[in-house]
Structure 1
């Protein structure tokens, strides 16, 4: 989504509605920024970022309290004359009467939070950064294996859910089955399940199962960063699969390169165990050790050594 409605923001951050505008369900917040209108309350309205949420904190409140009533009223009225999305007052402070008066006159929502100004700004920016982040939905299964997010993709019926179920039995955790919602937050991508189907899994021949009820809360997780993509495909006898691992493959997800492996599936092959090994191996690569390159270097050194011994003979 490229915006969040004001009513959704109120619900998400548990804000007290002191006055609700008639269009609170339609007001769109599309920037993860907030403005503290200290300069505006001092009378300077050039470059007023009126398109942002306006936050009245301790400093602004005490400054207004120090002004003569007529000046405070004049500057408050001018601030509300701009098309601002809403005003939030922090620390549970009591708004001045003219604030509510002009909020009603201009039909601007007036909200209150018990949080300190700094805490509320952090909560607001973190929430909006995530809510407004680029997003895609993919068909697959997301599991946490050894603390790393592994996205399983592949054709329908290849065994993604069954493999994930075996991983859960081995002590790993389910994040999403069938539908994975992926967001890019700064330079990380993280996946989650749609709220409606969270913690549920479809197993052919059984139907829908609730993983949290079957295996406990330790078997599920609401979201996880995606560190590895594994594509499961039916074994193709005519295809030559990578047996060394020197060639690095990547999946491009929302502009982020994520290591990718293609693992062939056939009866008798323990796919869950292979994924565990792949995850551990990927962690080693992230830490700077690549087994394939290490073996390749050893082989090259051995070849050079034998060539040198031959020349000496």
Structure 2
């Protein structure tokens, strides 16, 4: 994956962050190596130990007020120490007047300075999710993703097994398409996977024998969504190659994507099998388990209780000699 450049950030988030470039085209090709942004207040005050120079840095009202309070020579020394590091770029928030020394020294060091109209807290709130997403682990899988009763079902299986047809049938029943054939997956936090379609294939599906279809055009805009958390993987397999299929659900399977463990439901297919209804049941069963109701465990508990009752009855009758 190519590195994220300051130029990319400006192009993609310049409008949202209300950015104004103060140093011209200087340093726009500097890479942004880490997804963190912080305030350099201590460095401006002279404490440079443990300074995270690789981060983006934002000067808020406190930092600008501190610089204004310094004498010109002291202010220049403070900024020279700050800009002596290989900083990706420097932001100034709340449309504050920028010290001339900052712009001049930054230009000399080829470090871009950008000013935002946003307050510091709002600036952080908007830029942090963007940086997190841009640096998040990601992968692309051959699968189809649908939102079924609010549950993200990722359908996997060999090419031609019927993933797209299953999702199309789900859409016809009122569920929503997220991605077909190619799913781009991004990790959010420790255990959340977000799936989305490629920007070119969003809303489209390829149905063998029919070709490309525009799902939103056929079923309405409510039939598609841009992204969805992946919660269950539904593996479609050939009946002949499926082996021993799960019968009770007690021994739940799992799979890993980007190191995140997800429930895995393997469904062997044979002619006439209604995979669409099965997919709906998988989604509803997941919702039940999420709410604390596990049908397999409940049935197992009920069965064990009945067996215990029968055993007690047999023991009682075996001791009845009348």
TM-score band, normalised by the shorter chain? Answer: over 0.9
d(CA) in 1 for partners of 2:249 and 2:49? 60
Shift of the alpha carbon at 1:87?
A: 0.6
Please give the alpha-carbon distance, in whole angstroms, between the structure 2 residues aligned to 1:126 and 1:51: 18
Matching of residue 79 in structure 1 with residue 79 in structure 2: no
Q: Report the counterpart of residue 228 of structure 2 in structure 1.
A: 224
Tell me which residue corresponds to 1:265: 269
* Offset at residue 154 of structure 1 (A): 0.4
User: What SS does the corresponding residue of 1:267 show, helix, strand or coil?
Assistant: coil
Conserved in 1, the CA contact under 8 Å of 2:242 and 2:268? no
* Equivalent in the alignment of 1:13: 13
Q: CA RMSD in A?
A: 1.8
Whole-angstrom CA distance in 1 between matches of 2:84 and 2:179: 47
Gaps of 5+ in 2: 318-322
TM value normalised by structure 2: 0.91
CA apart distance, 1:226: 0.8
Instruction: Name the counterpart of 1:235.
Output: 239
1:100 equivalent in structure 2:
103
1-side partners of 2:278 and 2:251: how far apart?
A: 18
| Superposition pairs of residues 67-146 of structure 1, within 5 angstroms | 67-146=70-149
Q: In 2, are the aligned partners of 1:20 and 1:108 still within 8 Å (CA)?
A: no
Which of 244, 247, 252 matches 1:248?
Answer: 252
1:13 Cα deviation (Å)? 2.2
**For 1:53 and 1:210, how far apart are their aligned partners in 2?**
41
SS of the equivalent of 1:198 reads: coil
Cα distance in 2 between the residues matched to 1:238 and 1:217:
37
Q: 1:21, 1:108 within 8 Å by CA — same for their partners in 2?
A: no
Q: Separation in 1 of the partners of 2:70 and 2:61?
A: 15
SS in 1 for 2:57: strand
Q: Indicate yes or no: 2:36 matched with 1:36.
A: no
Structure 1 residue 2 displacement after superposition? 7.9
1:237/1:32 CA distance change after superposition, 3 Å: closer
Counterpart-to-counterpart distance in 2, 1:49 and 1:216: 49
Rate the CA distance shift 1:109–1:238 in 2: closer, same or farther, 3 A.
Answer: closer
For residues 33 and 17 of structure 1, what CA distance do their matches in structure 2 show? 20
Offset, 1:275: 0.2
Mapped to 2, the partners of 1:177 and 1:38 lie a distance apart of 48
- In 1, Cα distance between equivalents of 2:73 and 2:218: 66
Describe the superposition over 1:267-312 as per-residue Cα deviations: whole angstroms up to 9, x where unpaired. Answer: 3222111100111011212222211121122122112211211221
In structure 1, what is the equivalent of residue 54 of structure 2? 51
| Residue aligning to 2:320 | none
Separation in structure 2 between the aligned mates of residue 220 and residue 146 of structure 1, nearest angstrom: 13
The DSSP-based 3-state class of the residue aligned with 2:216 is helix
SS of the aligned residue for 2:28 comes to: coil
Aligned length: 312
